Every structure is written in structure tokens, then in C-alpha cells.
Amino acid sequence: MSKFNILKKEEFVPNFYKLDIKVPGIAKKAKAGQFILVMVDEHSEKIPLTLLDWDEEKGTISFIVQELGLSTSKMAFMEEGDCFYSIVGPLGEPAYLDNFGTVVLGGGCYGVGAVYPIAKKLKELGNIVITIIEAKNENLLYYEEEYKTVSDEVILVTTDGSKGERGHIYDILDNMIEVQKREIDHIKVIGCNVMMSKVSKLTKEKGGIPTYATVTTIMVDGTGMCGSCRLSYDGKTKFACVDGPEFDAHKIDWEELIHVRNTSYITEETLGLQNFSPECRSLAKFLERTKEEETS
Amino acid sequence: MKSKERMQIPFTDMPTQPPQVRARNFREVPYGYSEEMAIQEANRCLNCKKPKCVDGCPVRVPIPEFIALVQEGKFLEAAWKIKERNVLPAVCGRVCPQESQCEGLCVRGKKGRSVGIGNLERFVADYERLTGQVPEPERVRKNGKKVAIVGSGPSGLTTAGDLIQQGYEVTVYEAFHLGGGVLVYGIPEFRLPKSVVQYEIQNLENAGVKFVYDSVIGRIRGIDELFTEDGYDAVYIGVGAGLPVFMNIPGENLQGVYSANEYLTRSNLMKAYLYPKYNTPLLTGKNVVVVGGGNVAMDSARTALRLDADNVHIVYRRSREQMPARLEEIHHAEEEGVQFKLLSNPVEIMGDEKGRIESIRCQRYQLGEPDKSGRARPVPIDGDYFVLNTDLIIIAIGNKANPLITMTTPDLEVNKWGNIVTDEMGRTSKPHVYAGGDIVTGAATVISAMGAGRRAATAIHEDLFPQVEETPESFGVPKGSLELKHAAIYPNTVYLKLNIINISDKDLDQVKIRVSHVHEFFETTMLEKTVPRWSPGEEHELDCPRIDKNEKEYLLTINDLHGKIMSKIIVANDVKK
Ligand SMILES: Cc1cc2nc3c(=O)[nH]c(=O)nc-3n(C[C@H](O)[C@H](O)[C@H](O)COP(=O)(O)OP(=O)(O)OC[C@H]3O[C@@H](n4cnc5c(N)ncnc54)[C@H](O)[C@@H]3O)c2cc1C
Ligand SMILES: Cc1cc2nc3c(=O)[nH]c(=O)nc-3n(C[C@H](O)[C@H](O)[C@H](O)COP(=O)(O)OP(=O)(O)OC[C@H]3O[C@@H](n4cnc5c(N)ncnc54)[C@H](O)[C@@H]3O)c2cc1C
Ligand code: SF4
Ligand code: FES
């Protein structure tokens, strides 16, 4: 099978990879905020990844992978020329975009990359875009230069203070609201659920500035068929894959999402990775060997 | 063999894996008939002149004909006979609710067991597959039109199969990475081996059908774009009823509560039952509760058993007789050790501080007055509750229409449940867009989805190659007692329909009507129908499917009680066009 070929793979910072793949159908239809479901090989899980960029003319799409568990580790071991077994998309509703005025975007973990297409689009729509990107330390911050081209202001924040501000996205936001008294019309955050829930709590308390979060839930089919991605939203059950993934953060039942729905497979995930490790090594060896054979 | 002798033969049970063994593996439960068993069972069929069984079959498989071929040991011919009407016999033999269809009406069922029609269907289809003697797909001249099929479930596959044989260019778009719809993601391996489904899809591919996987229509392409950008001439929507219904009771989002769709999709499509070889995890439970009483509930319960549950309870609101599941599945589930809590309904799910489920509280019900469907309505008994300890709950109380396509196609008319509205041939409110299967009817059966697919294929063809519905002069019935009101011929779909009315003022007894092809020296009967009593003004419709493509002449013969020929008219017109 020659479809879903990796054209280019870059490791930005440790454990974060950007992959370019040819999928013309998706490149043609993708909108900011949508995602794809990816299976590395026939045995893999389907995992959701946000569309980072796409080029309709070349028919290519890009996404960023944060190496975490089994599937993402398998991806980390893939090389240019390797193929994915299955890629489905674009899925989900596009992000809610408009000329809001001043918009603050917050990205952590994979969200450091994933807010990029949204920033780009919001800028095009005439907003004043302030982007905050967060990482543990300076070695894990990426995409700073790209953001400068699509934001009026880029704020870097690290947990250890090794680069930019010290702290978290919500500390920066708190400061902007409380101390700097800045007018903010709209906020969007992408990253881990805990970070987003804290931002949501903060902005709800500070007068309810409209805040939208892209929830990360566990998914299977991405078409609303299974209910794996369900969350309680405004007292109702919603499916992140078709109703979202972006939702009004103030209406999400974060408690349930973080502590109940997303920790279902902790044991299996750990086990899966342990099982993978030896295979991982042999895969790496295999790839090395085939390369040597090719060159010799 | 005389009927009397046939009546003496006892029913041949299909051998199965012993319950204790099979409840721990995913291999298919029944082993199938041997050739001798098949012939013995076939010999029980009386070859009724007026076969009731056929009336019970939604696609009117010529049942006595194929069984007669089995009696003679002509298994391949028997398989082909079925395939004239049903393209997925290996599937239907395994999953059709025969007890409420063909076997339910079989005359032998009045006294004792009806003929094992499903078992025989399965046998001949397997025989064909396993001996690999599939006839070469007919090479048909392309007719220049393109049709897109959305969804590769049984209804989409049937439409695709019918259209490819008529020369269309057919492309099936499927959201998943594998084809078959519920047949692969819902129905487990132990009931329908995936190799059977794969084989049928391979046959369609060999015949020229193109499959495009990983494509969610509505997202990667809208219905309109299929016409404007991809140049399709017609679109068939067979996307199934894929929207799980939840109970809306407290605790439903706790860890350990699955929709049956998720549970079965993880297990079947993503092969979580082979974890960790396949990476998709699936929570397993020691005390599993499945809510619901249909096939989906039985499949979930039996999967849970096979994944090492100690206790599996099915909680169902109504009584046992009212369970919609196939009889065989209920029976198998019971043999394997699934326990039933009937006339009970969950009201609350309780969990621990970590958000994992611990128990489920149910209320007892009793049967009350019949409801609209005629089934006695279950009514809750005040204050009568019980609690089951559980670590895994699977909700299998039904599926609604998935709104993805209809949401993105606003001019497609839907009813208040979100099902696409169509006429009886599958035409939707949008020109050249057709729909069928579960997305139209709500969750139903494999065979009804296939029937809908077939009707839509007929409609697509009629609409793309419109034929003047002819009533050829020479195809008349002489004025007198009977009159031909309407004759419609669809040469390309090889389908002939006649409407005949009694215009006299008296009852006619035992009128026999026969439609046949006239060859040079002999004629072949295509359809025979006897009307025992035909009252004045009464109209009878004759459907003569699959008239021979190469035939130019048809003969309509009408006899009355005494065998007198009332009319014998040859249609000499070039009805073929
Ligand atoms: C709409 C959406 C968009 C996403 N976009 C991206 C993206 O662009 N780049 C990226 O790297 N990741 C993205 N994710 C998260 C990504 O899907 C998960 O990291 C991935 O599923 C982990 O798979 P794994 O097999 O490697 O790890 P697993 O072994 O399955 O899990 C490893 C760890 O990740 C957690 N996890 C598992 N699944 C998810 C999930 N769906 N969401 C959050 N945490 C999870 C587990 O609890 C565990 O702690 C997105 C998630 C969603 C829902
Ligand atoms: C667990 C289970 C057990 C069952 N057991 C029986 C049984 O024993 N006997 C019986 O007769 N019936 C049974 N049924 C019911 C039967 O399977 C269905 O009635 C039948 O499959 C409906 O066929 P369909 O073609 O309409 O749709 P489906 O089989 O549901 O197929 C629809 C296909 O469309 C795809 N699709 C959906 N949306 C899109 C989109 N937007 N773009 C592209 N593709 C899309 C889906 O992925 C799927 O592959 C069972 C159902 C289930 C769930
Ligand atoms: S009704 Fe029963 S006995 Fe009669 S033809 Fe059909 S299967 Fe045979
Ligand atoms: S992932 Fe299955 S419904 Fe959303």
C-alpha cells in the first residue's frame, strides 16, 4: 500500500515530531480546528491528531505528534517513506472563528502546535492575536518563529522559567486580566485537559470572558458512532468527535472529563508501552539494517 | 420420495462447539452441516406448490427450488439459485431471523420443526466459497454512468452488486478502514467469521466495484460535491443507524460504562479481543451487566463471557417472549451461561471515588396493557428495586440515525427521528439521491437492508435510463372477465410487472396465471400464480423478476378452473430497446 506516505519528518524538540503526508482529499477540505484519526499499522489503535497545516495545491497535510504512549511512540520510529495504515479526516467541527477583537490563544503540550492554524485564520479575519505557548522548559518550546508571523504578540512561558515567563498559561492570563487590565474579547486554549480546565475556571471567575477549549477525549471512530468521546456539556451528553472538539469551556464538566472519562485505560496504556519497547528496538534495528543494505 | 416419507425425517440439528468450550473462544459456534446432513435436511422439504416460506422472505429467495437442488446433491447450483435473489447467502444463512421469516411460515412448522432453511442456505453458500467454484463475474458493457455508494454495510454492498452487473461504474465510500458495516464492526467473529464478509467484498471487487476506505462522507466530501466535483450520476446512502442511545440515568459517564457500539467496535473492528497483539484496549469485567434484549445485547454479553467474565447478566425491560433477538442467539447465550434479569430496568449507576463503576440499581417491572405495537407494555413496580454489583456495563438499548450526513446535507428530508425519508423504492427528497437500510428504517435487519439496496438499484436504473412504461397492444387480455390494467417492463433491470383486474361481476375460482418465455420449440415458466378466488373489481399484481435478458418474447397464459385457456398472447414488440 502506497497511500499515506510520510514525505517529511522533523523532530522539533525532544519527543515532538512534525510529519508531512500526502492526502489530497483532506488537504482540500481541512479547516482550522479539525483533526484526523490515524492508525500506524493494522494492529494499531485509532488516535486523534489535530491538523496543523495543509496545502491544497500540493495535496499535503501536516501534524504534530507528542510521543506519549504506544501509538505515538510507533510514530516516533517511523521514517520518511514509511506509510500509515489508515488516516481519516478531516473530522470534527471547525473552530468557531470570527472577528472577535482581541483574542488570546493558549497552547500547551501538543497544543503548542495545534493552535497555529487557528492563529493564522484569526489573524486573517482581522483580530489582534496574542499567543501564549507553554512548556516545561526551554528545550520543549517550539514554533515560536512561526507564531510571530501570525500573532501580534507571542508570550513564552515555561514551568521552570528557563525561557520567557515562569509559570503556566493561566498565570499569564491572570496577570493580563488582573494586573494589566487588558481587554480580552475571546480566548481559545488547546492542550491537556487540566491546563484548559484551570483557564476555564479562571476566566469564569473573572467575569466570564468567552473561552473555548478543544477537549482531548479518547476516540474510536470519530463519526459519532460509539460514544467513547462523550462528555457532559451544559447538562447534556455531547460527542467530542462530531459536536466538538471545540466547546465553550465554561459549560464543560471538567471534573468528570479529567478524573473519570480519560483515565479509563491507564493500566492497558502502560502495559501497551512496555510491550512495545522491545519491538521498538527491533524496529529501529530493522530500519537501520535495511538502510545499510540499501546503501551498500 | 413421497411426502409421507419426507414427513418422517427428523430435523437435523447443526453440530456446534459445546457451550462450555465455545464460551471461552472466539471461533464460530456452529460447525455447519456435512453433505449428508444437508441432503437429509433438504429431504424434509415438501416442495410445496404454493411455498409459504417464500412469502416470508423479504427478498423472495426461490426456496423450494434451491432446496430441491440440494436434495439432488447439486450444491453449487443451489447456491447460484439463491444468488439470483440474495447476494450474501453465507451472511444471511447465519444472521437472518429465520424463525420470523421463511421458517416461521414453512408448512412443516405447523406440526413440529420447520425445514432448516437458514442452515441449508448457509451450507450451500459455504460450499461454494470453500470449494472456490465461483462463476466468473459477467463482463458487462459499461453503460457510461457513475454511481457513488456511501457506506459498505449490507445495503450498500447489495446496491453496488446490482449496479455493477448493469454496467455502472460503482464506487463505495466507507468511513472505516474495512468494509461490511455492522457485519464487521458489530456482529462478532463467533457468529459471523470476518473471512466470510471479506470474501464477499473481494467478489465485488473482482466484479469491478471500487472501494474507497477511510472516507467519511459529509466531511471529506459533501453529497452535492459527489455530483459537482466527482461527476457521479447518482448517490446511494446506506450509512446505517450508527448513533448509540444512552439511558440518561445518573452515573452513565462513569468509567466502565460502554455503549454496545463502542464495546463491539473495539472488540470486532479494532480486534481488541486479540489484545495486546492488536493495540486497542478494552476494559474487561468479572461481573458484567448488559442492558437490552436484542441481537446487540446478546452479542455484547457473549463477547464479555469470552473475555473472561465470571457472571454476565442481561437486564431487559420486557419479558423473554418479547426479546427482539434471534431465537438461536438467546438460546446460545443461555447455554453459554448468560443470566437473564427480565422485566427490570436500570435507574442508576453507582461508582467509587475514582469514578469507576461499582454497582447498578434496577427497578422491577410487570406486564400491563398492550401498547401500540401490540406488545404488553412493561410498567414499573413502585418501590421494587434490586442492586447488581458490577465492574462493566454495556448499554445495548438501540441505535438512532447518525446525523452526520443529514446535518451536512440540509435539503435531504428527514423525519422526526432523523431517518431519511424515501419512497418505497428508496428515492429521497433530493434528485438522484437514494437511501436505504437502517438509515431509513431505523435499526432493522441485514436482509431488509439488502432488500432496500436492491430496490434502490432498480430505481437508480429506472431514473438514469428512463423507459417509457409500455403497455404494448399485443400484451393485452381479451375483454371479458379479466383485463390487463397495466404492464410495465423494465428491460434493463429485467423486471416485468403486470396488473390484472377482474372486470366481470362474478367471482372467479382457481385462476392460474403464468408468464413464460417463448423459445423456438419450448417455453420456460418465469412465474406462476394461482388466485383461489378472484372477486369482482379485485386487482392482482404480478411481479416477474429477472426475466431473461436475451428474450424477445413473453407469453402470458391465463387458465381458469377447468384448465381452459382464456388468453394466450405473444409479446412480439421489441420490449428490450
Ligand atoms: C481532538 C484531539 C486532537 C488531538 N491532537 C493531537 C495532536 O495534534 N498531537 C498530539 O500529539 N496529540 C494530540 N491529541 C492527543 C493524542 O490523541 C493522544 O496523545 C494519543 O491518543 C495517545 O496515544 P498513544 O497510544 O501514544 O498513548 P496511550 O498509550 O494511548 O496514552 C498515553 C497517555 O496519553 C493519554 N491519552 C490517551 N489518549 C488520549 C487522548 N485522546 N487525549 C489525551 N490524552 C490521551 C493517556 O491517558 C496516557 O496517559 C489529540 C487528542 C484529541 C482528542
Ligand atoms: C451487534 C449487532 C448485531 C446484529 N445482529 C443481527 C442479526 O443477527 N440479524 C440481522 O438480520 N440483523 C442484525 N443486526 C442488524 C443489522 O446488522 C443491520 O440492520 C444492518 O447491518 C443494516 O445495514 P446497513 O447497510 O443499513 O448499515 P450498516 O451495516 O450499519 O453499515 C453502514 C456503513 O456505513 C458506514 N458509514 C456511516 N456513515 C458514513 C459516512 N458518513 N461516510 C461513509 N461511510 C459511512 C459505516 O461505517 C458502516 O460501515 C445487528 C446489528 C448489530 C449492531
Ligand atoms: S414451506 Fe417449508 S416445506 Fe414448503 S417449500 Fe417452503 S421450506 Fe419446503
Ligand atoms: S469517537 Fe466514537 S463517537 Fe466520537
- What is the percent of chain A where pLDDT is above 90? 46
Distance CA B77, CA B87 (A): 14
CB contact under 8 A, B270 and A223: no
- What whole-number distance in Å separates Cα of residue B460 and Cα of residue B447? 20
Q: Is residue A277, in this structure, part of any structural domain at all?
A: no
A264 close to B (CB below 8 A): yes
Closest by CA to B133, choosing from B78, B175, B195, is B78
pLDDT per residue as tens digits for the range B271-328: 888 888 888 888 888 899 999 999 999 999 999 998 888 999 999 999 888 888 988 8
Q: What is the pLDDT of residue A235?
A: 87
pLDDT above 70: percentage of residues in chain A? 88
Least confident piece of the model among B243-252, B269-278, B397-406: B269-278
Ligand 2 mean position, distance from CA B166 (Å): 25
Q: Say if CB A140 and CB A157 are below 8 A apart.
A: no
CB-CB under 8 Å, B221 with A88: no
Which of residues 8 through 67 in chain A touch B, CB cutoff 8 A?
25-26, 29, 39, 43-46
Res A277: pLDDT: 44
Mean pLDDT of chain B: 85
pLDDT in tens, B509-538: 778 887 776 665 666 677 778 888 888 888
In a domain, A63, yes or no: yes
Tens of pLDDT, residue by residue over B539-563, are 888 776 655 555 556 677 777 665 5
Mean pLDDT, rounded, for B254-275: 90
pLDDT at B574 over 50: no
Computed over its alpha carbons, how large is the radius of gyration of chain A?
Answer: 19
Closest approach of chain A CAs to the CA of B240, in angstroms?
10
Residues A239-265 have pLDDT tens digits of 999 998 999 999 999 988 887 776 666
- The dihedral over CA atoms of B563, B565, B566, B567, expressed in degrees to the nearest 10, equals 140
Q: Output the residue whose Cα is nearest ligand 3's atom 4.
A: B48
Q: Does the residue A290 lie in any domain?
A: no
* CATH code assigned at A45: 2.40.30.10
Provide the terminal-to-terminal Cα distance of chain A, rounded to the nearest Å.
26
pLDDT(A283) > 60: no
Of the pLDDT bands very low, low, confident and very high (cuts 50, 70, 90), residue A271 is low
* Cα gap B481→B483, rounded to integer Å: 7
Stated as kind and residue range, the H or E segment containing B334 is: helix B327-336
Give contacts of A227 with chain B, Cβ < 8 Å: 244, 246, 258-259, 261-262
SS3 content of chain A, % helix, strand, coil (to 5): 35, 30, 35
User: How far apart (Å, rounded) are the C-alpha atoms in residues A195 and B289?
Assistant: 35
Give the C-alpha separation, B543 to B535, whole Å.
Answer: 20
Q: Find the CATH number of the domain harbouring A256.
A: 3.40.50.80
Q: Among residues of chain B, what percentage have pLDDT more than 70?
A: 89
Q: Are residues A198 and A66 in the same domain?
A: no
What does the pLDDT read at residue B67? 94
Any domain includes A191 = yes
The residue-averaged pLDDT of B99-106 equals: 90
CB of A188 closer than 8 Å to CB of A115: yes
CA-to-CA dists, residue B491 to A228, B145, B458, angstroms: 49, 17, 11
Give the closest residue to B499 by CA, choosing from B514, B515, B488.
B488
Measured between its terminal Cα atoms, the distance across chain B in Å is 45
Q: Write out the E strands in chain A.
A: 6-13, 16-22, 35-39, 47-55, 60-66, 86-91, 102-107, 128-135, 153-158, 165-166, 186-190, 211-214, 230-233, 236-239, 246-248
pLDDT for res B573: 45
In terms of Cα–Cα distance, which of B298, B306, B302, B304 is closest to B330? B298
What kind and span of H or E run contains A116?
A: helix A116-124
Q: How far is A246 from chain B (nearest CA, A)?
A: 16
Residues A234 and A129 in one domain: yes
pLDDT at B572: 38
**Pairwise CA distance, residues B392 & B359, whole Å:** 9
Closest CA to B304 of B286, B277, B281, B327: B286
Give phi and psi for B150, each to the nearest 5: -105, 115
| Residue A238 contacts B, CB cutoff 8 Å | no
Task: Pick one of 3.30.70.3270, 2.60.40.10, 3.40.50.920, 3.40.605.10 as the CATH number of B473-574.
Answer: 2.60.40.10
Specify the DSSP element, H or E, that contains A294.
Answer: helix A266-295
Summarised one tens digit per residue, pLDDT across range B51-61 is 889 888 888 88
CB contact under 8 A, B402 and A223: yes
Domain boundary among A52, A72, A92: A92
CATH superfamily of B3-131: Alpha-helical ferredoxin (1.10.1060.10)
How is domain B146-242+400-464 classified at the architecture level of CATH? 3-Layer(bba) Sandwich (3.50)
Mean pLDDT value of segment B80-86? 85
pLDDT for position B513: 81
Per-residue pLDDT at B303:
93
Whether A173 is in a domain gets the answer yes
A69 occurs within a structural domain: yes
Nearest to A166 by CA among A175, A156, A176: A156
Radius of gyration of chain B measured on its C-alpha atoms: 26
B121, three cell numbers: 442456505
| Statement to judge: residues A160 and A210 lie in one domain | yes
CA of B184 to the centre of ligand 2 (A): 9
Q: List B residues 265-284 in contact with A (Cβ-Cβ < 8 A).
A: 265-266, 270-271, 275-281, 283
Buried b (16+ CB within 10 A) or exposed e, B330-340: bebbeebbbeb
Q: Is the pLDDT of residue B167 over 60?
A: yes
The reported pLDDT for the residue numbered B515 is 76
Is residue A110 located within the same domain as residue A221? yes
Indicate if A159 and A240 belong to the same structural domain. yes
B480-508 confidence digits (pLDDT tens): 677 777 666 665 555 667 778 888 787 87
Answer whether A223 sits within 8 Å of B403, measured CB to CB.
no
Chain A residues closer than 8 Å to B248 by CB: 237
What's the pLDDT score for residue B3? 82
Q: Say whether pLDDT at A214 is over 80.
A: yes
Domain boundaries, chain B: 3-131, 146-242+400-464, 246-397, 473-574
Does A216 lie in the same domain as A142? yes
% pLDDT > 90, chain B: 38
Segment A287-295 shows an average pLDDT of: 51
pLDDT at B511: 82
* pLDDT one-digit tens code per residue, A76-134: 888 888 889 999 989 999 999 999 999 999 998 888 888 999 999 999 999 999 999 99
A138 lies in the same domain as A245: yes
Rounded Cα–Cα distance for residues B279 and B284 (Å):
15
pLDDT at A122: 94
Do A71 and A114 belong together in one domain? Answer: no
CA B400 – CA B442 distance, rounded (Å): 6
Q: Which three cell numbers stand for residue A188?
A: 481559545
CA distance B448 to chain A (A): 21
- The C-alpha cell at B409 is 446535507
Q: Which CATH number does the domain B246-397 belong to among 3.30.420.40, 3.10.20.30, 3.30.1510.10, 3.50.50.60? A: 3.50.50.60
Residue B119 CB coordination number (10 Å): 23
Residue B461, helix vs strand vs coil: helix
User: Which one-letter DSSP state was computed for residue B99?
Assistant: G
How far apart CA B512 and CA B566 sit, in angstroms, is 10
Confidence class of residue A10 from pLDDT cuts 50, 70 and 90?
A: confident
- Which strand (E) or helix (H) includes residue B554? strand B554-559
Ligand 1 — pocket residues by CB below 6 A?
A 35, 45, 47-50, 63-66, 68-72, 110, 114, 216-219, 245, 262, 269, 272-273
Instruction: Assess whether A119 and A244 both reside in one domain.
Output: yes
Residue A211 and residue A157 share a domain: yes
Split at pLDDT 50, 70, 90, the class of A282 is very low
Q: Is A141 in the same domain as A214? A: yes
- Which residues 6+ apart lie within 8 Å of B262 measured at CB? A220, A226, A227, A228, B244
Is residue B498 within 8 A of residue B485, CB to CB? The reply is no
* C-alpha pair distances (Å), A288 with each of A281, A284, A285, B493: 11, 6, 5, 58
Q: How far apart are CA A2 and CA B140, in angstroms?
A: 30
Instruction: Give residue A221's pLDDT.
Output: 92
Q: What is the DSSP letter of B358?
A: E
Query: CA–CA distance from B148 to each of A279, B159, B235 (Å)?
Result: 41, 10, 5
Find the domain containing A16 and state its range. Answer: 4-92
In a domain, A45, yes or no: yes
Average of per-residue pLDDT values in chain A: 85
Phi, psi of B466 (to 5 degrees): -60, 130
| pLDDT at A46 exceeding the cut of 90 | yes
Say yes or no: do domains B3-131 and B473-574 share a fold.
Answer: no
A58 with A151, same domain: the answer is: no
Last residue of a domain, one of A92, A125, A146: A92
Residue A278 clears pLDDT 50, i.e. is over it: no
Number of structural domains chain A divides into: 2
